[in-house]
Amino acid sequence: MFKRLKVVVVFLSLFSESFAQLDHHDFSELCSIPNAQRYFEDCGVEGTVLVYDTSRDKLFASDVASIYGPSLPASTFKIINSLIALETGIIPDEHYIVKWPGVTDTIKYGYRPDIYNDMTVEEAFRTSAVWVFLELAHRIGKHNYEKYLTLCGYGDPSAIAERSDFWNFGKFELTPFAQLTFLKRLQQGSLPFSKRNMDIVKKIMKTEVSGSYTLFSKTGWTRENGINTGWWVGFIEKEKGAYIFVSRLLQNRKNNRHDFGSCRIAISKAILKELEIID
């Protein structure tokens, strides 16, 4: 049984953040997930999982204290990056082909010859091809990033660096709660982008379709500052409503384990099953 905590008491006692951060969330209740820590321990990580039930207006949290702890968004930034590229006309649609520039930094991104070729934006999103989104970032420019990140309340626009993947390396950070806020607005179609462009991004996020639900998601992983920072974020649509989820794992690379990548999804799905959201 989940331990129910009144949202006003929790936010007043545990968070020093401004109530302005709750503009897009007026949760009726915040519920802890008391057994979630065992999944993090099994993977040798520290972590946070948030699940928002839109139909019941409830937020479930595995670790309330870290909701506002910021970190690099890594490849989850490809969601908003795609939206900005579409909205500014940098790309017309998900089928737009980005030409392979002929070189990439294999020290930073590893050696992945399977993605060293011309790719559509949709292919790049699904394979997490960093070089494609670096090319788009160069075209988008700092001014457009500042405009749309501000409109979306997504991180600190002043922390972005031009002509770089500031979402993987640097000082641009996002909290799990901010991820949740952004994803809720995307799922509900209330972001400052056209419906067409939001629908395109939802389409390329579609990850899994079962008899009872459709799952939209994006993974992320960066190794900056000696820390593995891993994300799995998205939403699940069911006949009775939608569920927004955000998972973030942190691991000191001195304790690096081969299963870190798979743990992002495994932990999230275990908790989603406990909440009876997926089978």
pLDDT per residue over 71-120, tens digit each? 999 999 999 999 999 999 999 999 999 999 999 999 889 999 999 999 99
**Percent of residues, the chain, with pLDDT higher than 90:** 82
Cβ pair 70, 57 in contact under 8 A: no
Out of 75, 128, 247, 268, pick the active-site residue. 75
What confidence score (pLDDT) does residue 209 get? 97
Cβ pair 151, 185 in contact under 8 A: no
What confidence score (pLDDT) does residue 239 get? 94
- Per-residue confidence at 28, pLDDT binned at 50, 70, 90? confident
Q: Which 8-state DSSP code applies to residue 231?
A: E
In what side-by-side order are the strands of the sheet with 58-61?
4-5, 29-32, 58-61, 46-53, 241-252, 227-238, 213-222, 206-209
Q: Is 13 a catalytic residue?
A: no
Kindly list the structural domains of the chain, giving each domain's residue range(s) and its CATH number in brackets, ordered by start: 4-274 (3.40.710.10)
User: Once rounded to an integer, what is the mean pLDDT over residues 123-150?
Assistant: 97
**Average pLDDT over the chain, rounded to whole?**
91
User: Once rounded to an integer, what is the mean pLDDT over residues 115-129?
Assistant: 98
From 50, 47, 22, 28, select the one nearest 243 (Cα to Cα). 50
